[in-house]
Structures are given as structure tokens and as C-alpha cells.
């Protein structure tokens, strides 16, 4: 089977590390701040350089720096790096925000609300995505730009389509299933089994999680390996596995035998935010340029992430193009898993459960 020589979105294998997420709460005390607001005139006249913290594969400087404001990038490899890297003041003007760590990002109190009237392209972005970074009082804290769905993937030359996650228990899939090594994705199993709500897939009750773990125990004999994100192309190419739960179609754009569906699919959503002590006028000007149809198309072409504006889908390979409204319905965005014990299973509890499950294979 043919695979791409350069794997796109390898960050997804690093950023979803559940163990690292559990440590995020260690530095969540608020920091004193003084917001620096910007006016429309400030944004219109802004020029110069800003410092941006984000993921390298979203960077397309020839397009994103074509305006009067240019970004100097620093990079993160995991969403869990965002809270500690953003705590020191004075380092960045704009930073990426991820829904999976949004609560910790709010708790470090480093971002500022953004006046949507200053965002030239905000109204063109998908309203469901906009709502994810809008608080109950209507204040806007992030400008969404990228959506990446995790999907069920299978080699159609070797197995038939698993139309339900329970299909993986059939003899056809014995010894051919690969599972992603990530506790954060346990809610995807709950969603696939009909045990959680697509409105908040990260919230799983203790009773539902018990059923998830029972299913995984039943699935044990079908599992060939538990792999790290990014290993899938090689595993499929060697026919070590024939099906994987929660992989990315962007890994396989040149592999015609690879097929995908949305069984248990969840998506990751990223946005740009303005730091309280950053240069708001320059930051908003740069975000405005990034979120033009051309800017989002360039981002999509670099990362194979779905842009937050349908007009920019032309940046993706044709096989990955899907209207954003349809995508977020088929692949509900994954929010921040609770960090503390309560009515829903917390991230530390998920890590403990997943670690025990992995250890049982030894």
C-alpha cells in the first residue's frame, strides 16, 4: 500500500498526551494584568512585527505575513505546553488556543477578550466554531481557524467497513485492530457506543466509562497493537493492522485503499487568541490577514487541517473537503476533560484506566 512520504499533522500524536494534560493544573493561579485595548483606527494603522506561539505546520508566511504586520513564530509540540509557556509575561502577542486545554488556558488568566467588530472575517467563520470560544456573556476570546477530525480508518483491500464500533468484535477483524495510545480519547469510545452526548463528548459518567472499559476488555483479542499517533501509515503499509480507531485521513491522501468513516469521530479545534499584555492592534491585524479566505486556504494546504471557512476548502486535497457545518456534526469537537473528580470521569482517572488496560497486554 502506498503512503505519503511526509506525514501531515504529526503534532496530533504529541499534543494529545494524557499524562501531560494531567500536569496542566499545576500552574493555574491567576496573574495580575492590565489589558491594552485597541480601536478600529489602531488596527487599521498597525504595522511592524509581533511574536506568535503556535504549531509550525499552520505557518504559511508568504501569505500570512503579506500584510503590514509580520509574525515571528515560536513553536509548541503539544497543547499541554500552552499554559506553562504562556504564563511568563511579555513573550507573545498572539497564541494558539486549543479546545482540549481551554479551561486551563482561561485559568491562567493571560488572554484578553477581543472586540468582534475589529475582526474583519469573523462573520464568515463557522458559527458553531465561533461559539466554542465565546463565553456565556457573549465575549469573544478566540478566533477559530482549524478543525481536524479523528476517524475510523480501514484498508479496504483487507477488511470490510466497520459501520459500528461493535463490528470490530467480529472474527473478520481478529488480530487486525490498532488502537491509539491515548487516554484523552476514551470519550471517543463512549461516543461510539452511544454512552455520551455529542454536544459535550468529553463529559463521560462513571457508569458509562465502566461500560467503555468492559467493551475494551471484550475487544482485547481483536487488538494487534496499541500505537502512537503517526505510526499508522507504517503499520498499514506492512499490513500489521487493517483497521484503526481515531486516526487521520490526512495521513493517507495518496493511499486509495484506505477508507474512513465517522464512527465515534471527535474533532480538535484550534483558535487564535490575544495576550493581555501583547500588542492588540498588531495582533488583530495579523489575525485578520490569517483568516482571509486566502490565509485559511494556505493554512489548510500546509497542515491538511480543515479551515474554519468553507470558502477556503480549496486548500485541501479534494478527498478531505467537507463543509464545516457538516464536519462538526459528524465529528463533535472534543473539549477539555475535567481535571478534578466529580460527576464525570476526570482526566487523571482516565489515565489510570487506560494505563491499566495497556499494562494488561504485557
Domains of the chain: 23-147+267-321 (3.40.190.10), 148-266+336-359 (3.40.190.10)
Q: Is the dihedral of CA 273, 112, 114, 135 positive or negative?
A: positive
Answer with the residue of higher pLDDT: 362 or 165: 165
Rounded mean pLDDT of 210-231? 94
Q: What is the pLDDT of residue 254?
A: 82
Answer with the residue of higher pLDDT: 275 or 5: 275
Expressed in angstroms, the distance from the first to the final Cα of the chain is 30
CA 247 to chain centroid: 12
Contact 153, 177 (CB under 8 A): no
Q: What is the pLDDT of residue 20?
A: 47
pLDDT at 7 over 60: no
| Residue 241: all three cell numbers together | 493492522
pLDDT at 12 over 90: no
Question: Following DSSP, what letter does each residue of 225-290 receive, concatenated?
Answer: EEE-TT-HHHHHHTTS-SEEEEE-GGGGTT-TTEEEEEEEEEEEEEEEEEETTS-HHHHHHHHHHH
Which region among 24-28, 258-262, 316-320 has the lowest average model confidence (pLDDT)?
A: 24-28
**DSSP designation for 9:** T
| Band of pLDDT at residue 336, cut at 50, 70 and 90 | confident
| Band of pLDDT at residue 288, cut at 50, 70 and 90 | very high
Which region among 42-51, 57-66, 226-235 has the lowest average model confidence (pLDDT)?
A: 226-235
Q: What is the pTM of this model?
A: 0.82
Which region among 22-31, 87-96, 157-166, 277-286 has the lowest average model confidence (pLDDT)?
A: 22-31
The C-alpha atoms of residue 313 and residue 311 are separated, in whole angstroms, by 6
Q: What is the pLDDT of residue 307?
A: 97
pLDDT at 23 over 70: no
Rounded mean pLDDT of 203-226? 97
Q: In the chain, count of helices (H) and strands (E)?
A: 14, 10
Residue-averaged pLDDT of the chain? 89
Rounded mean pLDDT of 40-60? 95
Q: Above pLDDT 70, what percent of the chain?
A: 90
Question: Following DSSP, what letter does each residue of 32-57 receive, concatenated?
Answer: --------HHHHHH--EEEEEEE-GG
Q: Which residues pair with 49 in a beta bridge?
A: 70
pLDDT at 118 over 90: yes
Sorted by sequence, the CB contacts under 8 Å of residue 55 that are 6+ apart come out as: 11, 75, 76, 96, 270, 303
Q: What is the pLDDT of residue 104?
A: 86
Q: What is the pLDDT of residue 357?
A: 96
Question: Following DSSP, what letter does each residue of 66-111 receive, concatenated?
Answer: SSSEEEEEEE-SSGGGHHHHHSSTTS-SEEEEEGGGHHHHHHTT-E
Q: What is the pLDDT of residue 80?
A: 80
Q: What is the pLDDT of residue 34?
A: 47
Rounded mean pLDDT of 168-174? 98
The C-alpha atoms of residue 326 and residue 151 are separated, in whole angstroms, by 14
| Band of pLDDT at residue 250, cut at 50, 70 and 90 | confident
| Band of pLDDT at residue 36, cut at 50, 70 and 90 | low
Q: What is the 3-state secondary structure (H, E, C) of 341-358?
A: CCCECCHHHHHHHHHHHH
Q: What is the pLDDT of residue 324?
A: 94
Backbone phi, psi, residue 297, to 5°: -65, -40
Q: What is the pLDDT of residue 346?
A: 93
pLDDT at 245 over 60: yes
| Band of pLDDT at residue 78, cut at 50, 70 and 90 | confident
| Band of pLDDT at residue 361, cut at 50, 70 and 90 | confident
The C-alpha atoms of residue 95 and residue 73 are separated, in whole angstroms, by 10
Cα distances from 116 to residues 45, 81, 108, 143, 308, in angstroms, run 18, 27, 23, 9, 16
Amino acid at each position: 500500500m502506498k503512503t505519503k512520504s511526509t506525514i501531515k499533522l504529526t503534532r496530533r500524536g504529541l499534543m494529545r498526551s494524557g499524562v501531560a494534560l494531567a500536569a496542566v493544573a499545576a500552574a493555574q493561579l491567576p496573574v495580575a494584568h492590565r489589558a491594552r485595548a485597541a480601536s478600529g483606527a489602531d488596527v487599521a494603522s498597525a504595522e511592524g512585527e509581533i511574536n506568535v506561539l503556535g504549531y509550525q505546520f499552520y505557518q504559511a508566511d508568504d501569505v500570512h505575513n503579506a500584510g503590514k504586520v509580520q509574525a515571528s513564530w515560536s513553536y509548541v509540540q503539544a497543547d499541554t505546553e500552552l499554559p506553562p509557556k504562556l504564563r511568563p509575561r511579555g513573550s507573545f502577542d498572539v497564541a494558539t488556543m486549543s479546545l482540549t486545554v481551554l479551561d486551563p488556558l482561561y485559568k491562567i488568566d493571560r488572554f484578553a477578550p477581543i472586540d468582534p467588530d475589529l475582526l474583519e472575517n469573523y462573520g464568515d467563520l463557522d458559527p458553531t466554531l465561533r461559539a466554542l470560544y465565546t463565553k456565556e456573556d457573549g465575549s469573544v476570546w478566540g478566533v477559530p481557524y482549524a478543525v481536524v477530525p479523528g476517524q475510523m480508518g480501514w484498508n479496504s483491500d483487507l477488511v470490510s467497513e466497520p459501520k459500528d464500533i461493535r463490528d470490530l468484535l467480529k472474527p473478520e477483524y481478529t488480530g487486525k485492530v490498532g488502537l491509539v495510545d491515548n487516554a484523552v480519547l476514551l470519550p471517543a469510545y463512549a461516543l461510539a457506543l452511544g454512552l455520551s452526548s455529542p454536544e459535550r463528548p468529553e463529559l463521560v459518567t462513571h457508569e458509562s466509562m465502566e461500560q467503555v472499559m468492559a467493551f475494551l476488555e471484550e475487544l482485547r483479542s481483536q487488538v494487534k497493537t496499541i500505537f502512537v499517533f503517526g505510526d499508522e501509515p507504517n503499520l498499514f503499509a506492512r499490513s500489521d493492522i487493517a483497521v484503526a480507531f481515531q486516526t487521520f485521513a490526512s495521513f493517507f491522501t495518496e493511499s486509495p485503499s484506505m477508507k474512513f468513516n465517522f464512527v465515534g469521530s471527535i474533532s480538535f479545534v484550534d483558535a487564535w487568541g490575544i495576550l493581555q499584555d501583547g500588542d492588540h492592534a498588531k495582533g488583530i491585524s495579523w489575525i485578520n490577514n490569517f483568516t482571509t479566505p486566502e490565509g485559511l486556504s494556505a493554512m489548510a494546504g500546509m497542515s491538511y487541517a480543515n479551515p474554519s471557512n468553507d470558502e477556503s476548502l480549496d486548500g485541501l486535497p479534494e478527498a478531505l473537503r467537507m463543509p464545516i457545518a457538516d464536519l462538526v456534526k459528524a465529528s463533535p469537537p472534543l473539549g477539555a476533560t475535567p481535571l478534578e473528580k466529580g460527576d464525570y470521569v476526570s482526566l487523571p482517572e482516565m489515565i489510570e484506566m487506560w494505563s491499566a488496560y495497556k499494562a494488561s497486554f504485557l
